[in-house]
Amino acid sequence: MSAVPLVEQLSREMGISTATALFDGIPPRPVDPVLTPLFRRGGLPRGEIVTLTGGQSLSCALATIAAATQEQKWCAGIGLGEPAVASIADLGVDLDHFVNLVTPPEDWLRVASILIESFDVLVVDPGFLPSAGERARLLAKVRERKISFISLTSMPGSTEQIEITDTRWSGTQHGRGRLRSCLVSARSQTGVHRFLLPGPQGTPAEEPTPTSAEGAFERPVIRSVS
């Protein structure tokens, strides 16, 4: 059957006009309200691949899956190295439902294919880009199991692309103090968004309203006295 008659049949019998519409009916996984605007459907899609790249992408990915772990969904990280456990918890991730696998880069695709069968969310930093055939098989499994798959490397076939374009840390004004929060600028299909990650409490937070005094540096002035 050619593509046109198939589309017409699906439209007539099921009300489906495009392939994307097949997944639009699947509600996304909830995410932190601060991160909701990043996604076209307001949450982490299921049965699709999302790419999240740029500085702070790992932190953003972990913050994105936090709500799923709190709902007792099983999440796994592949190729993420060994991030600090305390930092993962600070981002809101329920550690009882998060597994981080230290995997050789050449094994990431095999391990991911296995975990897709039993996990709800995967966060992967691929050791290599899969071939077109490998990518097609991976995507077919993701769709079949309706899992959420986040890649920290750009990958053809992803339905949503989020790029962290700028990060600005605060907390060390005037040459002292400690890093407390990071203002993140992110670009996605829904536009450009700014938020704190981490915020003052570790989890994502809204961008603070700027004030004229905020961040101002008072330069010393030499006054002449007669």
Q: For the chain, which residues make up each domain, given as ranges?
A: 26-162
User: Residue type for 58, please?
Assistant: L
Closest CA to 153 of 68, 80, 48, 225: 80
- Two tokens at 121? 């969310």
* Per-residue confidence in pLDDT tens, the chain, 226 aa: 455 555 455 445 544 445 554 545 689 999 999 999 999 999 999 999 999 999 999 999 999 999 999 999 999 999 999 889 999 999 999 999 999 999 999 999 999 999 999 999 999 999 999 999 999 999 999 999 999 999 999 999 999 999 999 999 886 665 655 667 899 999 999 999 999 999 988 899 999 887 644 444 444 455 566 5
Nearest 10 degrees: CA dihedral of 4, 7, 11, 15?
A: -160
Q: State the Cα angle at 124 between 121 and 130, rounded to 5°.
A: 115
CATH superfamily of 26-162: P-loop containing nucleotide triphosphate hydrolases (3.40.50.300)
Residue 176's Cβ-count burial label (10 Å; 0-12, 13-18, 19+) is: exposed
Rounded to 5, what percent of the chain is helix, strand, coil? Answer: 30, 25, 45
pTM of the shown model: 0.80
